[in-house]
Amino acid sequence: MTLRQIAELLQAEVLTGEDKLDTEAVTACGSDLMSDVLAFVKDRTILITGLVNAHVVRTAEMLDIICVVFARGKRPGEEILEAAREIDLPVMATKMTTYTACGELYLHGLPGTKEKPQS
């Protein structure tokens, strides 16, 4: 599923990375807990979160997350968007709750990240 399709399904406003909307997402992860995101996320994932701070972008950078969607109508400040632009990270904002946004994407065929691998 492309980021463009994701933006349409979530009726999301694209805040950064307009030029990267043809990128394909393979999985998605919905969480406000960056500790869990760091433990679960694998390849070519988008992150849907209600947590708005600079560490969301930093976590995305470390994991090569391909897009962050801020849910529940939350809008990141300019500082966060600037950090996202610096690393070419597409950022969107949707009015949907995290649950609904995840459900919408799952319903249209975007699976979740797999279970955490064993130690």
Partner 1 sequence: MSQVLIREVFPVAAGAYETAGEASAAIKRKLKQLGVDSGVLRRVSVASYEVELNLVIHSMGGTLTLTVDPQQVTLCSKDVGPGIPDIDKAMTEGYSTANEEARSLGFGAGMGLPNMKRNASTFEIQSQAGVGTSITMGFRLDGK
23 binds partner 1 (CB under 8 A): no
- In contact, 6 and 12? CB cutoff 8 Å: yes
64 binds partner 1 (CB under 8 A): yes
Q: Which two tokens stand for residue 28?
A: 């998605």
Residue count at the site for partner 1 (CB under 8 A)? 21
58 binds partner 1 (CB under 8 A): yes
Strand order, beta sheet including 45-49:
13-16, 91-93, 67-70, 45-49, 27-30
28 binds partner 1 (CB under 8 A): no
33 binds partner 1 (CB under 8 A): yes
Q: Which two tokens stand for residue 92?
A: 């969107």
Binding site for partner 1 (CB under 8 A): 32-39, 51, 53-56, 58-59, 61-64, 117, 119
